[in-house]
Amino acid sequence: MNVAVTVNGTVYERDVEARKLLIHFLRDDIDLTGSHIGCDTGNCGACSVILDGTLVKSCMVLAVQANGSKVETVEGLADGEQLTALQQAFTDHHALQCGYCTPGMLMSATSLLRSNPSPSDEEIRKALQGNICRCTGYWNIFEAVKSVAR
């Protein structure tokens, strides 16, 4: 099936199998390997992207469902060399170790801060509960997000 998906502002047209997952489309078909895969049950959030303004787990969406949509991934966050405040905060607060969960975490936190620029501690935790990190214990991630909340 032919799909046209706008990812980080660029339109990609590809012929995909109907059963192809959006995460595999991103990673294998258009080679945007920043979004990751950490599970096969929709639990880990490593694949989180923003689809038409809504945070989704891209392993739970078919590529064909994204036809005609706009997708934002971690690769689209920075403006050239200029990191977003959140990306910078992740470094400043040591909110990543292996970095495998980081793209998904950044997308979830980005989505949170768009809809709620001043989240409480509890709201930050709730917004990130769908993203598993096995390295950091989350504490530094909370600090990083808090530091850019207004």
Q: Where on the chain is the footprint of ligand FES (CB under 6 A)? A: 37-39, 42-47, 57, 59, 96-102, 133-136
Q: Looking at residues 101 to 120 of the shown chain, list those that interact with other proteins (rule: CB under 8 A).
A: 101-103, 106
Using CB distances below 5 to 8 A depending on partner kind, what does residue 110 bind out of ligand FES, other proteins, none? none
Of 50-58, 62-70, 96-104, 112-120, which segment contacts other proteins by CB under 8 A? Answer: 96-104
Nearer to other proteins, 68 or 98 (CB): 98
Nearer to ligand FES, 11 or 52 (CB): 52
Per residue in 20-57, is it b (16+ CB within 10 Å) or e — as a string? bbbbbbbbebbebebbbbbeeeeebbbbbbbbeeebbb
Of the candidates 69, 42, 70, the one whose C-alpha atom is nearest the C-alpha of residue 58 is 42
Tokens of 8: 């980080």
